Copies of this chain bind each other. A is one copy, B any other.
Amino acid sequence: MLGSIEAGGTKFVCAVGDKNLNVVDRISFSTTTPEETMKKVFEFFNAYKDLKAIGIGSFGPIDINKNSPRYGYITSTPKLEWKDFNFLGAVKKHYHIPIGWTTDVNAACLGEYEVGSAVKNDSCIYLTIGTGIGGGAIVKGKFIEGFGHPEMGHILVRRHPKDDNFQGWCPYHGDCLEGLAAGPSVEKRYGMKAQDLGPDHEVWEILAYYLAQALFNYTLVLRPEKIILGGGVMKQPQLLEMIKKEFMALLGDYIEISEIDEYIVKPILGDNAGIIGGLILAKEACK
């Protein structure tokens, strides 16, 4: 059996699956303190004595540099209780089996790359747009990473003319992409949650404008074969088409991409992308 942990800032999902990636058991609970949360993680996995490996996709920022003394830590997160938490170390202390370690979005990206919407592609980006914006990328079978993992949710974008007065809410950058287009930005602007504003509200045009700019920039830097958009904000059914339209307007006929409906897509694995990716990560950790 293989284990998978999708560690989100709001909730944790743990799952156990077989080598064909069939999930046979899963549990989900709120992310509270590391102590309380990890206790539930261990209770879940302790029931499986035949675990071969575990794959972890964690909220970040995390340290992924194997030569770093803090490899496996959650680092400078605004969730202060988790700051400097040695996540990988805690799991390794309980289970003496191979443990895979990456970001939550990298794990989801891996799931979609191996068995989801990008299964026929050599490269893809997975972007989640929810309470924050985060992205992972795979090119030629390898995660894009260097001095650390991508933080592509925080790139700079140009302001929409109707949105000039909003300061943005990113605690680090104010009006970076996340500060302007993640879920909480809607409530900060209008005092109402995104889902209560209705599909014709101007906010969707504003969000689509920012997200399309980001996808345009990612496209020019990485030239991926596919971009997959997940996360809570993308559950607004009108948003995907609005983003694609803005993106095509920016792209003009400058560079070639695959068919737009094949290029910007939702995850085939849906909310399971991260958990499936974690199982694949576990499988790879066995090698």
Indicate if A20 sits at the interface (CB-CB under 8 A). Answer: no
A3 within 8 A of B: no
Judged by a CB distance under 8 angstroms, whether A258 is at the interface is yes
Residue of B nearest to A252 (CB): B172
Asked if A102 is at the interface (CB within 8 A of a chain B CB), the reply is no
Once A139-B139, A217-B156, A217-B217 are accepted as A-B contacts, the answer to whether A144 and B254 lie under 8 Å apart by CB is no
Interface SS of A by simple majority: loop
- Whether B221 and A221, one on each chain, are in contact in the complex, defined by CB atoms closer than 8 angstroms, is yes
Cβ of B147 and Cβ of A139 under 8 Å apart? no
The size of the chain A interface, using a CB distance under 8 A, is: 43
Distance in angstroms from A60 CB to nearest chain B CB is 10
What residues of B have a CB within 8 angstroms of the CB of A257 in the complex? 147
Is A146 on the interface with B (CB-CB < 8 A)?
yes
Q: Which of A24-32, A222-230, A234-242 forms part of the interface with chain B?
A: A222-230
Bound: A58/B221 CA distance, A: 18
Assess whether A96 is interfacial by the CB under 8 Å rule. Answer: no
> A residues touching B (Cβ–Cβ < 8 Å)?
61, 121-123, 135, 137, 139-140, 142, 144-152, 154-159, 172-173, 213, 216-218, 220-225, 250, 252, 254-258
If A173-B254, A222-B221, A252-B173 touch, whether A216 touches B156 (CB-CB below 8 Å) is: yes
Q: How far is the CA of A255 from the CA of B62 in the complex (A)?
A: 11
CA distance A223 to B256 in the complex (A): 25
Q: Are B217 and A146 in contact (CB under 8 A)?
A: no
In the complex formed, the residue of B with least CB distance to A68 is: B256
